Chains A and B, each alone.
Chain A
Amino acid sequence: MKKQDFVVRFAGEGGQGVVTSAEGLAQAMAQSGYHVQTFSTFPSQIRGGPTWTQTRIATETVLSPGDELDVLVAFNEYAYENHKDDVAADGVIVYNQGEFEIDASDNVLGMDFDELAKQTGNNRAANFVVMGALAQLVELPLKVLEDFNRERYTRGRPSDQQIIDSNNMALSLGSVEADKSGLVLGEIAEAVKPEGEQILVNGNIAISLGATAAGLDTFVGYPISPATPILLWMEQNLVGEGKFVYQSTSEIESITSIVGAGFAGKKAMTSTAGPGFSLMGEGLGLAWMAEIPLVVVNVQRGGPSTGLPTKTEQSDLLTALYPGHGDIKLPVIAPGTVEECFYAGIMAVNWAERYQGPVVLLSEHAMSERRQNIPRPDMSKVEIEKRKTYEGSNGYLRYDGFELSPMPIPGGSGAYIANGSEHDAMGDTTHLPARHIQMTERRFSKLNLLNDGNFESENESAKVALVPWGGSKGSVLAAYNQLVNEGLDLAWYYSMYVHPMPEGMLAALREKDLVIVPELNYMGQFASVLRSEGIKAVAITQYTGLPFKVGELATRVKDLVSNSVAEGVSV
């Protein structure tokens, strides 16, 4: 059988072309119809420092980065030492002989990346040398990479042809080296072109595109890994009359200025990560209290405090739900795939408009950098919502009653005071118990407007369910598929709508004997939320700063199930 799946990790130092190689390969393979997914971790320092990016190529949708490597491309000795143990038993190590030497062993291919590049007359062709070797290892026709090369470097510049020629030469030099070594991984199966048009994006861009599609007007953000690319994308693209995008001086300024924009009738958003999100707590409370629509994207990284800025974690769920003091529980949408990031961007804005309050979109580092082919979004299927605005005469009671009411917009009629202190119907500060009761119930009742989220389910009759959330979805789904193939009777439930969660999903989960929640945090945060909803949830946690490995996870699920059976849970 031909290879259906191919995992390559490029490891080296920042500036050696690690990321360009991985992303170039992903782009080339996606163009010829393969499914791809990249995964990176970066050093915190700006130049140099160990870095690696992984590209997974398959004939079907890629769910996870891949547990084991078919090929490790080691740009230096440190990379080789640190990553060689992740190479599969039948895998190959391609290494840069110009940098270091590995004692002869049967699965290594040494070549001098830079020397070979020099032979082409283009010192920057080293990544094409590497790609040529990779192609040979999996018997991929070089034409696939040559086509990519031509398309990529046809930029209408005089030097285009020279670059294209030298890259093509690099491809064949690399391929010849691999051929000489006699190493083979097996022929990669031909691509089965995905149905419909595809785009290649990462999570941060997908969120940005989604929010833009939802009609975003204002974006104010402060740089922080791994959310910065969203700010930069907005600065570049959300332009024109009536749009306002700006880099603030702090996350406090970000959140409070979008409170102002939301109050003024605009669709407003900010993006941040852990430390910045902590600074936004008070401002989010104001938006909840004064009933002002806005969206905060929190691209989670390892915490607490400055934590692990360039590693992944799902440890901000509780703070997203309860970002501030007092009775408050925010709507949270946590997309699980790059494709969902797009729709989460839209739905976060829609929800904010619909219930007139703040919404948190919870992404995470691993997804922000994950570049993946996804079906091109169909804008005709996307519904864009706008808040109900007040158009009547003056003397309006903006906060009257126990339910959502139309919102007056400054410049129009119905002047009121949007108040972060407890207030009466017109927005004046009050301390009357009856008012605090009314307004508290009013704020929570509005969440009922958001109960319409969809969810996925499989094998609903099983008594034990596997229920991931957020960016772990792909790895958990891969583990689920494996376990079901092995004959385990396991149900699957998933929704990106973490709060409010779809009623149907909650009801189904309450019926289960055991709900297993794999999540990337120490506390088992989502499991604890589910338990508070009357669900028998148990977490499988990991807090390494890295995503789940599918095989390990499957084993842990199996162990948990058999231990539970021992304790009387029926499977």
Chain B
Amino acid sequence: MTLKNPEYDFKWCPGCGDFGVRRGLENALEKYLAETEQPTENTVVVAGIGCSGNMVHMLEKEQPFGIHGIHGRSLPISMGIKMGNPDLNVIVVAGDGDFLGIGAEHIAPQAMRNLNITAVVMDNGVYGLTKGQSSPTTDLGVITSSTPYGKMEEKVHPLRNYLTMGVSFIGSTISNKVKDMSDMMYEAMSHPGFSIVHVQSPCTEYNNTYEALKGSVKKGIEPLAYDIPEGHDPSDAEAAQEVVNADGIPLGVIFRDTSRPTFDQRVKDTTGSKEMKSVESLIEGFSI
């Protein structure tokens, strides 16, 4: 929408990781819709507030529905949409501050429900839109505009938390590997249950971590990010635990559990299979 719309004036900074995430998401969506033979309007993109959430306005191919709500609440909004119409393909796009800070309380409940949506979390370790304050994933001791003497709390480990909370699909990827990311997002959309694709999406303006993530031979910097070894079995919870406990940023599908029913299936089987009384007979129950 954005390119055709002169009124929309938000732009990502040159080199922002979110550009790559957009490409990955567009490709994954295209493939998913083709495979499942769904029209684009069957997809709803639910955006958090942040540079990342602006994704919903930036998609350049055929337009899905979107909702750009309030800071931190994309998960409960997506629950209302999905449970209102379980046939929709619902995708959350949010930043680390939105998803893991103000909105953190919403992750565990959706994991327990196994809400069948896909969340794409763009982690840049900083609050981009509000110009560079520390975020839950900012490292201890780092100086940001809001931590002038260094950050005084330890950073959150999102992947460990997702696993502990019972998220049924956990993938970790990086914004410059568009093909891998897109494949992972496609898998996540196809996954029956709550899937999170956690993307390292560096903020070139306030927290440029490209070098740290990818390393530099020239400067002798070891890369933080590494591919999860080929043999890893995502259905093995213990193996997944080892991956998230290790140092660094593992790249690949970490965990996948397809054995649990989705939330909409549970509702369908529990209250959905009951027959509702007519309004007349509900009223009749109170007659004197």
Which residues from chain A sit less than 8 Å from chain B, CB to CB? Answer: 27, 30-31, 197-201, 205, 209, 212-213, 217-218, 220, 237-246, 248-250, 252-253, 256-266, 268, 282-283, 285-286, 290, 373, 376-377, 379, 394, 408, 410-421, 424, 426-432, 435
Contact = CB atoms under 8 A, between A and B. Distances in A.
Given A416-B65, A430-B8, 13 more contacts: A31-B288, A239-B272, A243-B271, A245-B271, A260-B67, A263-B84, A266-B80, A394-B63, A411-B41, A415-B40, A416-B66, A417-B65, A428-B1
Given A428-B2, A432-B7, A260 B65 contact: no
Contacts of A201: 286
Given A260-B76, A411-B41, A411-B85, A240 B67 contact: no
B261 interface: no
Contacts of A257: 76-77, 79-80, 83
B42 interface: yes
Contacts of B82: 260
A220 B84 CA distance: 11
Given A205-B286, A376-B283, A256 B70 contact: yes
A65 B206 CA distance: 64
Nearest to A267: B84
B286 A239 contact: no
Contacts of A283: 70, 73
Given A248-B76, A411-B87, A261 B70 contact: no
Nearest to A26: B288
B219 interface: no
B279 A212 contact: yes
B80 A27 contact: no
B287 A256 contact: no
15 contacts: A198-B287, A241-B268, A243-B276, A256-B70, A256-B76, A259-B69, A263-B84, A268-B80, A379-B280, A379-B283, A416-B65, A416-B66, A418-B65, A424-B7, A432-B7
B81 interface: yes
Contact of B69 (A199, A241, A256): A256
A218 B83 contact: yes
B276 A238 contact: yes
Interface string B1-43: 1100101111000000000000000000000000000001110
A101 B41 CA distance: 75
A420 B70 contact: yes
A265 B85 contact: yes
B288 A198 contact: yes
A261 B8 contact: no
Nearest to A248: B76
Nearest to B85: A264
A418 B85 contact: no
Which of B5, B63, B83 gathers most chain A CB within 10 Å?
A: B83
A237 B283 CA distance: 11
Contacts of B57: 417, 428-429
Given A260-B67, A426-B1, A428-B57, A240 B272 contact: yes
Q: Which 9 A-B pairs have the closest CB atoms?
A: A260-B80, A264-B84, A240-B276, A257-B80, A417-B66, A261-B80, A239-B274, A260-B81, A428-B8
B148 to A, nearest CB: 29
A247 B64 CA distance: 30
Contacts of B1: 417, 426, 428
A241 B272 contact: yes
Contact of B276 (A239, A250, A259, A420): A239
B218 interface: no
Contact of A27 (B41, B56, B105, B288): B288
B63 A415 contact: yes
Contacts of B84: 217-218, 244, 260-261, 263-266, 268
Which of B5, B67, B109, B268 gathers most chain A CB within 10 Å?
A: B67
Given A197-B287, A241-B272, A412 B41 contact: yes
Interface string B82-106: 1111011000000000000000011
B41 A410 contact: yes
Contacts, number: 195
Interface of B: 1-2, 5, 7-10, 40-42, 44, 46, 54, 56-57, 63-70, 73, 76-85, 87-88, 105-106, 109, 267-268, 271-272, 274-277, 279-280, 282-283, 286-288
Contact of B5 (A250, A259, A263, A426): A426
A260 B79 contact: yes
Which of B8, B40, B65 gathers most chain A CB within 10 Å?
A: B65
Given A243-B276, A264-B81, A420 B68 contact: yes
A376 B85 contact: no
Which of A241, A429, A431 gathers most chain B CB within 10 Å?
A: A429
A424 B70 contact: no
A415 B66 CA distance: 8
Given A200-B286, A249-B105, A379-B279, A264 B80 contact: yes
A379 B279 CA distance: 9
Contact of B68 (A282, A377, A412, A418): A418
Nearest to A282: B70
A394 B61 CA distance: 14
B178 to A, nearest CB: 24
A240 B70 contact: no
B1 to A, nearest CB: 6
A242 B271 CA distance: 10
Given A410-B42, A411-B42, A417 B68 contact: yes
B10 A212 contact: no
A435 B57 CA distance: 17
Contacts of B277: 237
A263 B64 contact: no
Given A257-B79, A424-B8, A410 B65 contact: yes
B49 to A, nearest CB: 8
A335 B277 CA distance: 26
Given A244-B83, A261-B81, A252 B76 contact: yes
B279 A213 contact: yes
B80 A259 contact: yes
Which of B42, B57, B84, B85 gathers most chain A CB within 10 Å?
A: B84
Contacts of A240: 271-272, 274-276
B70 A411 contact: no
A291 to B, nearest CB: 12
Contacts of A418: 65-69
A246 B109 CA distance: 12
A547 to B, nearest CB: 23
A133 to B, nearest CB: 24
B76 to A, nearest CB: 4
A261 B81 CA distance: 5
